[in-house]
Structure 1
């Protein structure tokens, strides 16, 4: 059996539009874009970070 690899994705802040975080995501299991609440060091607040290209 083959292993399904996770791919690295960039997370972009919804407030300042900067790429501040990286994470792994399994594209075969999770079809929709990833959206996580994380701390942005440029905005200095918690904001929603969405997956970008």
Structure 2
């Protein structure tokens, strides 16, 4: 199976003392475009705005 299941967690929520939002998604194991941790801009409902979410390992 060429895809991994990953969890994305908000990077800004802990600094503000609120619970971080998490998203579950997949990524291509063999992709040369994303060799490091995946980062995406997603909506955080506790902060009521879009924030950067980084892959957990």
Give the TM-score band, short-chain normalised: 0.7 to 0.9
| Structure 1 alignment gaps of length 5 or more | none
Q: TM-score, normalised by structure 1?
A: 0.77
Alignment gaps of 5+ in structure 2: 15-19
How far apart in 1 are the matches of 2:47 and 2:56? Answer: 18
**Superposed CA RMSD:** 1.5
After TM superposition, which residue ranges in structure 1, 4 or more long, deviate above 4 angstroms?
none
Q: How many residues end up aligned between the 2 structures?
A: 50
Superposition TM-score, scaled by structure 2 size: 0.73
